[in-house]
Structure 1
Amino acid sequence: MDEMTRVRELRAEAPRPGRDRLVGGRERLLRAARGGRTRRLRADWRLAAIGAAAAIAAAAVIVPQVTDGRGETALPGAGHGYTVELGSAKGWLNDAADIVAAGPAVTAHDGQWIHTETVETNTTDDAPDPQTDERLIRYADPAMENGKAGDDHSPREHYAFLKSLPDDPARVRAKARAFFHATDPGESRTEHEYRALTAVISRSYVYDPEDLAKVYRALATVPGVRVADVVDAAGRDAIAVYREGAGFRDETLLDPDTRLYRGFRSVSRDGEVEISGARLTTEVVDGEDDRPQPPVGASPGT
């Protein structure tokens, strides 16, 4: 049983915070980001129970969410964020590998595209309001392959990289270093491995689940990797995976249920969430002009 499960079970009877307080900020974020078109995301708010038990289970640090100056809850991603420190990531990532390995494969073929939709907040920007972005990425893009784009790769190259991985975590780490080569002379080997492995997780749009699970097992062996319970830029609960940096930390956010990539946060030493991004959709589509369509009868965002 991992630390997160123990935290939730210790205070399973704790009342949930009122939806009018928590959901309001999330809905305002999505409404502003989408120009009034709000998608309904999973309303699984377990923050009260987690925060109350964290001091017992995991030496937690909770940073309260700021307000907007009018007594209302600030938009998620603005100012200080919610964080419960859970400690070492080794056991959690190994469990995550098992969950990912048991999940479905995502496949694509030459001629298809990857459609993504994201939302981001940036307190260091001149326009800190939530910004949405839609992208279509060619699955097989020769201009992004065989080193033509430097330290970047097409989804087809990512898929081939995953298929080439051995079972040994140390060899996976070495292959990840070569795949995402060093760009900073001052970067240590451990920093390089962490950056490369988290980049693979965030950019593997198409994968065989057992291959992707090998990346999680390799990441579990990198020294100093930790996990925390946080909220992403869309107001959803997420698990942050990170290593402490020089005055800041870059977090890779994973879904607490599927353990797949969900977004990122850049957090200053004083706990300020300076940049926060959340991936809202990822779909394989057949043409450049295609957009994923919801099932018949489904509400937006289903």
Structure 2
Amino acid sequence: MDEMTQLRDMRSDAPAPDRFALAPGRQRLTDAIAGSRRGRGPRTRWWLASLGATAAVTVAALLGTQLLDTSGTRSTGPATMAGDLDLSGPAATLGRAADYQESLTPPPEPRGDQWIYVRRVQGKQELAAQGGPTGEFTYDPDSRVEYGNPAAEKDGTDDDRSPREIHRIADELPEDPAALLAEVRQLYPSGTDAPETKAAQIFRGLGVLVESYPLAPDALARIYRAMATVPGVKITDHLVKDAAGRKAIAVTREEEGTHQRRELLLSPCDYSYAGLRFVVTEDHEMKLPEGTTGINPKLTAGDITLTEAREVAAVVDAKGDKP
């Protein structure tokens, strides 16, 4: 039985990706609640660097609460395509993820004229919650970007790197974790409008790379091993749920000064990118930004202020194609 057949059998509740989707990928989160374009790659949202720093963060904080799934795997889990899960800590979990990626046969790099198709799901936003700003926010779940995007490559900044540029940058990342992390800091610098610590900056940049699509498996393996060495990175000892309702591994780090933690979600089947969440770590009242009317929302530890899942990522031949 081939790998894709196994994956479809085990994840029958999710759309089946093509063979490229076995390698983790990237696509920007929706533009609809975008902040300034700095440090995140194409269609950047700088507010992801620090949830307390911008107005968009406050809007995101008005999402409905979603509970963690505490009935899932703890220190070890069921056999999957990637083998038995180990959620005992960053070294074990991300080391196993790296080992699995290195066991894969790299798919061919897409042609420059092919397109990257991504379908994503975002958690429902209730902007009127707790008397906050009213209205409904919408987004397009389907996005497409040309693999060798000429405009992005001509731009030459970290805001508008094409998927091809990211793929080739990742291929050249060094084996040594410390050297890799230093390079990531250069690739995704901090901005002046939202200060962040060195470790927070690195974890953010690593998240951009893990989300990148397509990425060679050996490059992803190096990224995972380096991620395990970032101060403050932890592994949730049970599977959580992404915005699509699927179980996922949570690689987490508390964001200093925000009362929240960033969670990078990985598939327990093949350690590919599954989504992103921000979770409140302690009760607090968040101030609305200047110029916004409403009541400051009171957030409780465990509230999920932003959640997004990637359901499908694939290489297609034309802009309008779907896998």
Check whether TM > 0.5.
yes
What residue in structure 1 maps to residue 67 of structure 2? 81
Cα offsets for 1:89-125 (capped at 9, x unmatched): 2221111111122124242111000000011014353
Determine if the alignment matches structure 1 residue 118 to structure 2 residue 120. Answer: yes
Instruction: List alignment gaps of at least 5 residues for structure 2.
Output: 1-11, 16-62, 75-86, 128-133, 282-300
State how 1:53-64 maps to structure 2 within 5 Å. none
Q: CA separation in 2, counterparts of 1:252 and 1:220?
A: 13
- Find out whether 1:267 has 2:253 as its counterpart: no
Q: Which amino acid aligns with 1:282?
A: A
Partner SS for 1:243: strand
Match of 1:41 among 14, 17, 28: 14
CA contact (8 A) 2:69 2:240 kept: yes
What amino acid sits opposite 2:206 in the alignment? L
- SS of the aligned residue for 1:145 comes to helix
AA aligned to 1:260 is: S
CA contact (8 A) 1:241 1:251 kept: yes
Q: Say whether residues 1:234 and 2:244 are aligned partners.
A: yes
* Residue range with higher mean Cα deviation, 278-287 or 186-195: 186-195
Q: Contact (CA 8 Å) 2:158, 2:188: kept in 1 or not?
A: no
Deviation of the 1:148 alpha carbon: 3.7
Whether contact under 8 Å (1:112, 1:139) holds in the other structure is yes
Query: Is the contact between residue 121 and residue 129 of structure 1 (CA under 8 Å) also seen in structure 2?
Result: no
1:153 alignment partner in structure 2: 161
Task: String of CA shifts for 1:111-170, please: whole Å, max 9, x gaps.
Answer: 000000011014353567996610011101132236545434211111111111121011
Q: Per-residue displacement from partner, 1:219-238 (whole Å, max 9, x unpaired)?
A: 01111101122001111100
* 8 Å CA contact 2:64, 2:126 repeated in 1: no
How many Å apart are 1:88 and its aligned residue? 3.3
The SS at the match of 1:79 is coil
Identity of aligned residues (%): 32
SS at match of 2:159: coil
User: Structure 1, residues 275-298: CA drift from partner, whole Å, max 9, x if none?
Assistant: 211101011001112111xxxxxx
* TM-score, normalised with respect to structure 2: 0.62
Count of matched residue positions in the alignment of Structure 1 and Structure 2: 219
3-state SS, counterpart of residue 277 of structure 2: strand
Shift of 1:266: 1.4
